Structure 1
């Protein structure tokens, strides 16, 4: 058996919590990129430098080059280490797979402000065994749901029983079940939750609907226009559009190359103020924590494009929601969170959701890879620093508690 990896300059990387905030603040990344490039020029096998370069390029929108460097780094070695604080805390090993920042649980952000040591161990569908892992106290399955991750999660189902250390989210099939159609089916009969019926259909079927050769309801039982449609495997609103009628589909399809799509009914979730409000919440060890709330006059709500930084009134709504979350939102939706915990059944997961006038929770998506962070400016968003610190501390408490079961 080969020796387990040890902490060294050959394995230690900057980490997402270091790189992405620099890009978020608009800092010049070229000096850092140039330093890592010089390391690679001196030693082409410097996988840690390649990994840092991949993160830098990904954070500055150079996705294709970033993925090529990531692939090269992982081909050289499977283990990379991020040290938080003085590194005296628990050693957490996360099973991850190559991809962008939304491919895996953002563990690096969740450990921000701690003294934890994070090991990233890359796996794929061809991983033979887990015989040479870095020494750790607790592990975490961090591979998020995605069509291309199905074989990876299937492989982990076979490999994880080999481990003697405790594992968080030790249920790859439950992660795989968090597809958009899987989540809608999971909560179809839950009275406290509306997860709109979501259908996966192929391109030919959608083209037939657009051309009038068949009807939407004939392909997707009970579904009528208006609908929302998006390519399978996309996130952050990629390719997401609203179609009022079949004649809206030809132009949509002309701009998409995907072979499969998700279609679902359009739900008008505007509040009394006429704005759409979407909340991101993570559930840690059974308890929900607020991630962010965004308000927008458009039905596709993204925090970065919702104008939260420019609108003090919107920020006041978010601040009040965060500050009263435990006594108000979480209490009013206690039945929904109980159902989410029962049916999803993972130690850590997130949801994007909204409140409906009838009191139900409208769930758009559930996954383990939703990004929650503390990068927002403390002067503009002072309340978010407090909420994120509470969330990060809860994650660390769960890690310590799980690690303690092995002692």
Structure 2
């Protein structure tokens, strides 16, 4: 029985201003009402007290978060609009809340401008100081396109890729200073911040870096800091799929699927179909250049299917990539990720999925559907703990040659192993997530990875290891 379902929630008594403990209770009750799907009751409760508490910024921010959770983004935006339109300095959390509300009601232009304002208001973020930290690491982070949900400044700064994981899980070893290089206020903010020992660049999407003015702007900002930089923007810009395919050609025991990049236009659709048919053939993978994690990637089986697929896409740059079927068992596909940390390579994880576009399957029941005897999982565990033995020396040599040719310091390589032992290359870049945290069965590998990261950071910063 759900006691909250029929519980009557009265309005707050008119004229009685809630004291601090009452305010905490009201927010907690409103959150419980939302959890129990009583959105209208939660909104009405907040409406009954908000007129008396508009000056309490902490209460207001909490109330706006509840309103968004209750599906009342339009009301939240109406409340916040006059508060974020004032000429005097505005609390950044209110700008963030307004940006999220605008996004959720579909006002994309307003959400974009509010997101830019939020980034200008908080152009840097310094994580907490802890006694065991070895150094301060500056991180160049990309400003979000939109703030989609109410977040803290820390979440706004550290939201994607490996540096976000480092900041959230390894702040006991390293302190982090996030910097938005696009923010005009960033350099002034840095003047009052502690100076990092090194910079870890997280502006690493090569395709985005190669958009007009981005590479020069971000690279110049990094150079202006006068610090050693890991994954420098100029190096990250060299890791597009197209450039990697050319760079890695000729490596023994490495299969690089053929690819082309073409400009899709509706008026030349049939020419694009002929180009892909002649240069790559079918099946073929069609994907945009900017997305990651396989988003928008489709396997196309025939020229007719390609023509229909392109007819549903806007004019844009696209990749056509040779599809190499490499199922490891009936209905089971595999993706192996290697973490390159300085000059060392580790197998970070091995994921399986029912489709060629593999993402980690977290449902154990679905995993058992194609791994009934756990032979795939057991072999994957051996790949991580003993890669030289399980992958074979030729594959390991190919991975090290990839490492030597890719101009980055700390990044990932996604690949698989073909039946003949060759490496089937998928991609290599610094956009990938690389976890250093312990997991069952991976403790020894993850400890070695953390030691390699520590050595890389110390060497880059010019600090002698103790």
Q: 2:164: which partner in 1?
A: 108
Contiguous gaps of at least 5 residues in structure 1:
1-25
Deviations 1:79-131 (Å, cap 9, x if unpaired)? 1122375463310001111137999642131352342111111113x869957
Q: 1:191: which partner in 2?
A: 252
Quick check: 2:235–2:408 contact (8 Å CA) kept in 1? yes
CA gap of 1:239–1:400, structure 2 versus 1, over 3 A, is same
1:83 aligns with 2:128: yes
Within the candidate set 285, 290, 298, 1:241 is matched to: 298
1:353: how far off?
0.8
CA gap of 1:164–1:154, structure 2 versus 1, over 3 A, is closer
The structure with higher relative contact order (CA 8 Å, sep 6+) is 1
Quick check: 1:39–1:49 contact (8 Å CA) kept in 2? no
Structure index of larger Rg: 2
1:184: how far off?
1.4
Quick check: 2:263–2:318 contact (8 Å CA) kept in 1? yes
Compute the TM-score of the two structures, normalised by the length of structure 1. Answer: 0.74
Q: 2:405: which partner in 1?
A: 343
1:139 aligns with 2:206: no
CA gap of 1:273–1:226, structure 2 versus 1, over 3 A, is closer
Within the candidate set 441, 451, 454, 1:383 is matched to: 441
Aligned counterparts of 1:190 and 1:308: Cα–Cα separation in 2: 39
Quick check: 2:270–2:307 contact (8 Å CA) kept in 1? no
CA gap of 1:148–1:227, structure 2 versus 1, over 3 A, is same
Contiguous gaps of at least 5 residues in structure 2:
1-34, 36-41, 43-57, 65-79, 146-155
Quick check: 1:108–1:118 contact (8 Å CA) kept in 2? no
Aligned counterparts of 1:240 and 1:105: Cα–Cα separation in 2: 20
Please identify, of 106-115 and 284-293, the stretch whose mean Cα deviation from structure 2 is larger.
Answer: 106-115
CA gap of 1:304–1:271, structure 2 versus 1, over 3 A, is closer
Within the candidate set 149, 172, 181, 2:209 is matched to: 149
DSSP-derived class of the 2:387 partner: coil
Quick check: 1:277–1:295 contact (8 Å CA) kept in 2? yes
Compute the TM-score of the two structures, normalised by the length of structure 2. Answer: 0.66
Please identify, of 335-344 and 144-153, the stretch whose mean Cα deviation from structure 2 is larger.
Answer: 144-153
1:99 aligns with 2:160: no
Within the candidate set 412, 418, 421, 1:356 is matched to: 418
Q: 1:117: which partner in 2?
A: 175
Q: 1:316: which partner in 2?
A: 378
Count of matched residue positions in the alignment of Structure 1 and Structure 2:
364
Within the candidate set 283, 287, 311, 2:344 is matched to: 287
1:354: how far off?
0.7
DSSP-derived class of the 1:45 partner: coil
DSSP-derived class of the 1:353 partner: strand
Deviations 1:301-329 (Å, cap 9, x if unpaired)? 11146858853725433322222235543
